[in-house]
A and B are shown apart, each in its own frame.
Chain A
């Protein structure tokens, strides 16, 4: 049955409409969870507010388990969904640069758009920065093209690399997530911050 678009059960125009509706859900949930506030987001790095950790990990394990169950029920063909490619050097370097951007700016791209939508001017400036960064990457592309394309490993799932089933890796990730929730709750007690 799923994915509906890949199996041509809905048209590509309907796919764009669904993208818009899914986006509404995405934006609504992010904003209602507090992701429109940079001070809440940055809190995870200091322990005073770990909403990022809780929402992020809960969402990841919910979707991960949902996909595995959907596959088990025969509702979705997991071989047809998009798996992010793995380019080892650029995955690490890109992540490191984004991490630095996160702690400096207090947003990531999705959350900055949410925050700008409710009037945060710092988020608008952050989005301006993203435009500059993307433009700079495009303009200087020949300089880092070889690094960008280096170390291509295909589209592996982590469980294939370490040699376990998807279910076993998913179980381990759920355990890690619960451990992280425990640490998050502990940190919020330990490093309280007044109203912000």
Chain B
């Protein structure tokens, strides 16, 4: 299948902004991502070792605020939609393909090691910062939240500050 190009980034931004606006209008809340992954972890811990979940403060707090269970959450349904939406977009554009994407200057193995490390940091940081790029930075900025804007500046500021040290991976 012939590959189609990406859409204009400013058009993409307006569309994403309208999706975010719709989330506030309908549900009174912004978009998110890390929260859904946290629901998966909590479900896993609840299933594998229920006693441990009962005795660990972080999981217990979450269960108390989600009496119907961690998977019955807005973000879980939203992220299921994200998987569908991204898959459809990729299918229409001819981009469905199993691959490890990396700069020609590095090996797949190196790419995967850094992807794992980056994921660990992002997972940890999203809990500490009460949300990731979607829930804290983007949605927080749209409602002018001070905390959201600070987190946004910290994420991108750190990215730029460290870019030099990781340049081999990307350029």
Contacts and interface: CB of A to CB of B under 8 A. Distances in A.
Contact of A84 (B87, B131, B170): B131
Contact of A5 (B7, B28, B139): B28
A59 B118 contact: no
**Interface SS of B by simple majority:** helix
Interface string A77-91: 010111111111011
Interface in A37-79: 37-40, 42-46, 48, 51, 54-64, 66-67, 70, 75-76, 78
Given A31-B85, A33-B16, A102 B122 contact: yes
Given A59-B16, A128-B119, A4 B138 contact: no
**Interface SS of A by simple majority:** helix
Contacts of B167: 46
B125 A97 contact: yes
Interface string A96-128: 111111111111111111111111111101111
A81 B131 contact: no
Contact of B28 (A30, A80, A104, A123): A80
Given A109-B37, A119-B99, A70 B129 contact: no
B113 to A, nearest CB: 9
Contact of A129 (B16, B91, B122, B127): B122
Interface residues of B, number: 122
B57 A142 contact: yes
A182 interface: no
B147 A84 contact: yes
A133 B150 contact: no
Interface of A: 2-6, 10, 15-34, 36-40, 42-46, 48, 51, 54-64, 66-67, 70, 75-76, 78, 80-88, 90-123, 125-139, 141-142, 144-145, 148, 153, 155-161, 166, 169-170, 173, 181, 193, 196
Interface of B: 6-7, 9-10, 12-34, 37-38, 40-42, 45, 56-59, 72, 74-75, 77-91, 93, 95-103, 111-112, 114-163, 166-167, 169-171
21 contacts: A15-B74, A17-B77, A23-B81, A26-B16, A26-B82, A27-B86, A32-B93, A36-B95, A60-B142, A62-B17, A63-B18, A88-B150, A93-B129, A94-B127, A95-B136, A97-B122, A100-B125, A122-B112, A123-B115, A129-B119, A153-B147
